[in-house]
Amino acid sequence: MSTQSDAVELLEALNGGKGMLDGWLEVHDESEVRAAIFELAKGSAGAETLRDKFAAKAMQGFIASGDYQHPMLGSSNGRNLDQWIAQSAYDYADAMLSAREAQS
């Protein structure tokens, strides 16, 4: 089984009901568990990262406001509206992560 699919299965087991994690751990050896955890930590297993969560919240705010001329969105630089909002949301997510890191 691939590392990425193991990571997805691990995530499902972590979010599943009682005993799901135990069952997953019983059929995987230590190296597979380590590799799956590493994939989850990298965010490459399809798992939503903290950056994704912050960006989603920023995007939701931008869209809900309906104010696409708001200075917080910055310049569109010729981008389509959806690309512009998505990139702005990730810009805000990056700023949030930087501020979080500076406080720790």
- pLDDT (tens place) for every residue of the chain, 104 residues total: 567 777 778 878 777 767 788 888 899 898 888 888 887 777 655 667 788 889 999 988 888 887 666 666 666 666 677 888 888 888 999 999 899 889 87
DSSP class of residue 68 equals T
Q: What is the pLDDT of residue 95?
A: 92
Q: What is the pLDDT of residue 56?
A: 92
Q: What is the pLDDT of residue 80?
A: 77
Cβ neighbours, 10 Å, residue 77: 8
With a CB cutoff of 8 Å and minimum separation 6, the contacts of 89 are: 55, 56, 58, 59, 62
pTM: 0.52
Reduced to 3 states, what is the DSSP secondary structure of residue 47?
coil
Q: What is the pLDDT of residue 11?
A: 76
Q: What is the pLDDT of residue 21?
A: 85
Cβ neighbours, 10 Å, residue 89: 22
* Rounded Cα gap, residues 1 and 32, in angstroms: 9
How far, in whole angstroms, is CA 88 from its chain's centroid? Answer: 16
